[in-house]
Amino acid sequence: MRNTHATQLIFELSTAGRSGVNLPACDVPEQPREQWIPAELLNAESPELPEVTEPEVIRHFTNLSTLNMSVDTHYYPLGSCTMKYNPKRNERIAGWDGFAQLHPYQSEDSIQGMLQLLFELQQMLGEISGLPAVSLQPAAGAHGELAALMVASAYFKELGETRTKVLAPDSAHGTNPASARMAGFDFVTIRSQADGRVDLDHLRENLGDDTAVFMITNPSTLGLFDDQVQQIADLVHEQGGLIYLDGANMNAILGIARPGDFGADMMHFNPHKTFSGPHGGGGPGAGPICVTDTLRPFLPNPTVSYCQDSQAYYLDTGDDKSIGRVRSFFGNVGVLVRAYCYIRTHGPDGLKRVSEMAVLNANYLLSQVKEFLDVPHGDRCMHEFVASAEPIKEKTGLKQPAMDIAKRLLDYGFHPPTVYFPLTVHEGLMMEPTETESKQTLDAFAEVLKTIVNEPAETLQSAPHSTSIRRPDEVQAARQPIVKWTEATD
């Protein structure tokens, strides 16, 4: 698999005099640049650009694109991220000129189609969530959390209340505490019980008239549906607080349970997880939020409305209580177009079936994995489950068996599961197969995992053996990326 050609820089492929284009001969008299461009704006020397032919360019970038794993090239059971296959048809439609070539400053009457699509998407997300007031503006799930917490803040301010605390269970995604702090709240972690559900006693101890919001991910990142959620909502509401549902795991309950019906006041969707938006590489994603009618006036503006009289869609700046814009123009519209296509393609019954199949696939994989790995909460799961490689420590002496297994999976051509998250499971491997995988793929993955668990410690410790980059320091790699491959970075 090592592909050294692709790890050369395109500058290293350069040969003086080569060109990727054939321009016709100049048929007008040549004139010196200095005649048209002021001397101080001209470079003394030509820029050093790679001189390469078209096939060299194509091979270079095609090879580069295969250095990483992707949903289109590999099985990708990355828990909590819902790496389902994204139908190419949605990509094609989002690329149509009528969508992709619009300018956000066009007049409303010239973008009626786009406004209709966004209006209908608002309605569909309102229906799926059971929370009728929708803003499509936020640009990611985490951004949706922040926007909704700002909505909560504005709501409490309107009531004349000072509420300083946001609470969430210890299995929460790191974005929950981060959003709470960015929105100006103090953050309190609520313990989970041994069975993975929220510890109600610890919640009661921390609830008070200073509680603004309880954030809950349900089903949780452990792949468990907390059946106490309505009771939790009652407890929080009795204290005047609001429930925020982190909707990253909606792939498990589409058309089956609605957050608005089980007590949520606000939530976000991750269309790049649930509704087939391309996912990873830093975005763009989207994080539409849905809230109750009570909170509607505080939503970011504008939203999209329909005027019966003029029979036209328009950008509605709504109430002066709005928290204002959280994103330029209408948000990341390309992702929203794909979400619209996905939802309309499946329809209500199809979406329900998506979730049923996602849960079935996860339970099928779970039934195999628990034969050779520990699965702490593993009788049944929703769309994902968290296995633990803790027992392997003792058997092999490995210090970080979850990491070693993850790295070794790369040699077998599988993207690893999410590791070391949530923090409540030691040596956690969080697997989310999604509904788009076949039984054969799940069987093959389980088989490889079983093989790896029984391989010698040295093999695991030194894995991966077949990739161009072996084990980079992940923090340094993110902060100070060295994009040029050398033996030293191996």
Ligand X SMILES: *Cc1c(COP(=O)(O)O)cnc(C)c1O
3-state secondary structure of 298: helix
Q: Which is nearer to ligand X, 50 or 284 (by Cβ)?
A: 284
| CA pair distance 3, 158, nearest whole angstrom | 60
Among 236, 179, 181, 183, residue whose Cα is nearest residue 213: 236
175 belongs to the binding site for ligand X (CB under 6 A) = yes
Per-residue mark of binding to ligand X, 228-257 (x: CB under 6 A): ------------------x-x---------
> Site residues for ligand X, window 37-96 (CB under 6 A)?
80
Question: On the CB side of 277, how many CA atoms lie within 13 Å of its CA?
Answer: 28
Adjacent-strand bridge partners of 306: 313
Span of 134-142, 234-242, 369-377, 397-405 interacting with ligand X by CB under 6 A: 134-142
Instruction: Please report whether residue 418 would count as binding ligand X according to CB under 6 A.
Output: no
Q: Give dist(CA 238, CA 230) in Å, integer.
A: 12
Work out the angle between the directed axes of helices 112-129 and 333-369 (0-180°, nearest 10): 30
Give whole-number Cα distances, 457 to 63, 371, 388, 395, in Å. 32, 20, 17, 9
Site for ligand X in 256-295 (CB under 6 A): 270, 285, 287
Nearer to ligand X, 115 or 213 (CB): 213
Q: Name the residue nearer to ligand X (CB basis): 361 or 396.
A: 361
Instruction: Supply the minimum distance, in Å, between the C-beta of residue 121 and ligand X.
Output: 17
Minimum distance from residue 214 beta carbon to ligand X (Å): 15
Contact 142, 285 (CB under 8 A): no
* In the complex, residue closest to ligand X by CB: 141
Q: Which amino acid is at 134?
A: V
Contact range with ligand X by CB under 6 A, out of 34-42, 136-144, 226-234, 331-339: 136-144
Under the criterion CB under 6 A, does residue 140 sit at the interface with ligand X?
yes
Residues 348-387, one symbol each (x = binds ligand X by CB under 6 A, - = not), give ----------------------------------------
Q: Does 141 bind ligand X (CB under 6 A)?
A: yes
Rounded to a whole number of angstroms, the minimum distance from the CB of residue 429 to ligand X is: 16
Binding residue (CB under 6 A) for ligand X from 111, 133, 142, 222? 142
- CA–CA separation, 8 vs 59, rounded Å? 12
Closer to ligand X by Cβ: residue 90 or 274: 274
User: Quick one: which of 211, 221, 388, 418 contacts ligand X (CB under 6 A)?
Assistant: 221
Beta-carbon contacts of residue 316 (< 8 Å; ≥ 6 apart) = 301, 302, 303, 304, 305
Nearest to 226 by CA among 242, 238, 237, 214: 214
Smallest gap, in angstroms, from Cβ of residue 302 to ligand X?
A: 22
Contacts of 453 by beta carbon, 8 Å cutoff, 6+ apart: 372, 373, 389, 392, 405
**Of the ranges 59-67, 90-98, 140-148, 470-478, which one interacts with ligand X (CB under 6 A)?**
140-148
First-to-final CA distance of the chain: 14
Under the rule (CB under 6 A), what is the footprint of ligand X?
80, 140-142, 173, 175, 217, 221, 246, 248, 270, 285, 287
